[in-house]
């Protein structure tokens, strides 16, 4: 982990501006990186980049390895000659300030089909060679994923557990016959993955060349309706018919009398241990080819996790079960040589979880919005932050700072105003200032907080079905004045890359 003082912005690529209904990896992403550099940031944090499915959540994807094809940029496909300008003539009128997922996905699928058909027709030699190389390098997951998606498409999108038995059970004769008869459908999904990773890795190179590191995100659990579970049932607690025997969640707490029932299948950690955690190590390696740092979501689950019998309607009747603990991280460390990992250590956490985090010197997370329900000893107040942590005003799961303040109890509002020595009008920027001047090595805020936006710009409501992950910035929102103001605060609190470079040279 880099111990220089750094600062960054949390913004998912789908929130970038652009004409195709959803943020992508094209020109607006490069303009965004240029703005980050001008503003003096050295970090860009994103949410998981996986292929989203039902509910559009980046935390519930069809694969732990695949990328989101809806982030592929039509503008860049145009430059490659795989789209023509006439292909964009039928572009629907899509909203600029939020993602209409149904409309955007329909439009993107149409463009990607056109691009694939043209790729097959013109067969550009250099791209064909790159495509072949990609398939060889990523075969570990790509073959199963493309097969999973092709069968799912042919079944009208239903979950794999409802497929005919020969596909559900991956009976070799049926699978081999399907592959023989559906090479074009399989190649189509491989093509989409090829262009996602091609565009992302070019963007990442540009980000790094600009002096910026990317923080990515690995959800602890994978979606039940995923290629991972379908192709690797031995990794999970499933019955002979492929149904989970136990599922993930969290127990009842102050916020919920019935807890949260997530429904993801649990890992058979005993089996993972026997394999040297091979699947997990491949997963982390794959993510480190996309990011510079990884945030491990629900870090507690590596120490112990809440196990609920399948079929329960709530998370009440569960139990705590020990996870893989230090053995897992030792194996990962031995394989990778380092652990560029941030531990999401929020919630009701026992000391043993913090001990596991500290054993491997992993930075935890501090959320300023959580700080005002107690007194000045609260660990989420900036004056109490340790050096080895990542400090936030809020995250994608929180309301915007304006929205949080507007809905907070009066006693918390009063504490907040007293702590920041400001009135209500200055809350977002004064909270940013307090986080930035803390000892935390990394200071991050969502773009919505820099723009002082209210609840209408919130990214996610945990536990709410539908209506999440939709917020987008419009093209003129990152103004020269905002860039100037953010650069000033990065300079004031020694988070400007140029100052860190000067320090390294010993000036």
Q: Which domains does the chain have, with CATH numbers?
A: 1-38+62-215 (3.20.20.80)
Q: How far is CA 494 from CA 7, 55, 389, in A?
A: 9, 40, 16
Backbone angles phi, psi at 97, to 5 degrees: -105, 0
- The closest of 110, 77, 78, 112 to 91, measured between CA atoms, is 110
Q: Can you give the pLDDT at residue 253? A: 78
- What does the pLDDT read at residue 465? 78
Overall pTM surpassing 0.75 (yes/no): yes
Q: What angle do CA 310, 311, 316 make, to 5 degrees?
A: 80
> DSSP 3-state assignment of 17?
coil
Computed on alpha carbons and rounded to an integer, the radius of gyration of the chain in Å comes to 23
| The predicted structure's pLDDT at residue 2 | 54
Stretches in the chain below the pLDDT threshold 70: 1-2, 254-255, 504, 506-507
Cα–Cα distance, 5 to 184 (Å, whole number): 50
Q: Which residues are catalytic?
A: 297, 344, 397
Tokens 């999973």, residue?
A: 148
Q: Quick one: pLDDT at residue 66?
A: 98
Query: How far apart, in whole angstroms, are the C-alpha atoms of residue 218 and residue 174?
Result: 33
- What lies within 8 Å, CB to CB, of 424 at 6+ separation is 405, 413, 417
What stretch of H or E contains 213? Answer: strand 213-218
State the pLDDT at residue 506: 62
Of 263, 285, 264, 162, which is closest to residue 222 (Cα–Cα)?
Answer: 264
Cα 476 to chain centroid distance, Å, stands at 25
CA-closest candidate to residue 4, choices 345, 482, 363: 363
The reported pLDDT for the residue numbered 205 is 98
């Amino acid at each position: 982990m880099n111990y220089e003082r750094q600062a960054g912005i949390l913004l998912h690529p789908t929130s970038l501006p652009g004409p195709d209904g959803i943020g992508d990896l094209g020109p607006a992403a490069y303009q965004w990186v240029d703005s980050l550099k001008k503003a003096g940031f050295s970090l860009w944090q994103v949410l998981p980049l996986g292929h989203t499915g039902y509910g559009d959540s980046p935390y519930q994807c069809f694969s732990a390895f695949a990328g989101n094809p809806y982030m592929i940029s039509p503008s860049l496909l145009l430059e490659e000659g795989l789209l023509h300008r006439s292909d964009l003539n039928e572009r629907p009128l899509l909203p600029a300030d939020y993602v209409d997922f149904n409309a955007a996905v329909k439009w993107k699928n149409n463009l990607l089909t056109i691009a694939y058909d043209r790729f097959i027709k013109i067969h550009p030699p250099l791209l064909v060679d790159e495509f072949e190389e990609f398939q060889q390098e990523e075969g570990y997951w790509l073959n199963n994923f493309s097969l999973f998606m092709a069968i799912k498409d042919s079944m009208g999108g239903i979950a794999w557990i409802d497929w005919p038995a020969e596909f559900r059970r991956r009976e070799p004769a049926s699978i081999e016959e399907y592959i023989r008869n559906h090479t074009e459908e399989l190649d189509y999904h491989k093509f989409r993955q090829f262009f996602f990773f091609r565009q992302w890795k070019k963007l990442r190179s540009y980000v790094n060349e600009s002096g910026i590191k990317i923080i990515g995100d690995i959800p602890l659990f994978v979606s039940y309706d995923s290629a991972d579970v379908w192709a690797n049932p031995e990794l999970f607690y499933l019955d002979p018919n492929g149904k989970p025997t136990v599922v993930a969640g969290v127990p009842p707490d102050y916020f919920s009398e019935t807890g949260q029932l997530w429904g993801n299948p649990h890992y058979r950690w005993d089996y993972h241990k026997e394999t040297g955690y091979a699947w997990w190590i491949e997963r982390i390696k794959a993510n480190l080819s996309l990011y510079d740092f990884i945030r491990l979501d629900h870090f507690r689950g590596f120490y112990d996790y809440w196990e609920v019998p399948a079929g329960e309607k709530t998370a009440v009747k569960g139990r705590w079960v020990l996870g893989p603990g230090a053995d897992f991280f030792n194996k990962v460390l031995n394989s990778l040589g380092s652990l560029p990992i941030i531990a999401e250590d929020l919630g009701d956490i026992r000391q043993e979880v913090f001990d596991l985090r500290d054993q491997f010197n992993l930075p935890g997370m501090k959320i300023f919005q959580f700080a005002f329900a107690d007194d000045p000893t609260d660990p989420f107040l900036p004056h109490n932050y340790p050096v080895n942590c990542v400090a936030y005003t809020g995250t994608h799961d929180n309301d915007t700072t304006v929205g949080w303040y507007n809905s907070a109890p009066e006693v918390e509002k009063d504490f907040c105003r007293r702590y920041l020595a400001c009135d209500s009008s200055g809350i977002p920027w004064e909270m940013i200032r307090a986080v930035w001047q803390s000892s935390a090595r990394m200071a991050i805020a969502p773009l919505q907080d820099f723009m002082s936006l209210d609840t209408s710009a919130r990214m996610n409501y945990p536990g709410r079905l539908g209506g999440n992950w939709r917020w987008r910035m419009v093209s003129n929102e990152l103004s020269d004045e905002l860039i100037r103001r953010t650069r000033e605060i990065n300079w004031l609190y020694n988070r400007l890359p140029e100052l860190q470079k000067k320090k390294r040279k010993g000036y």
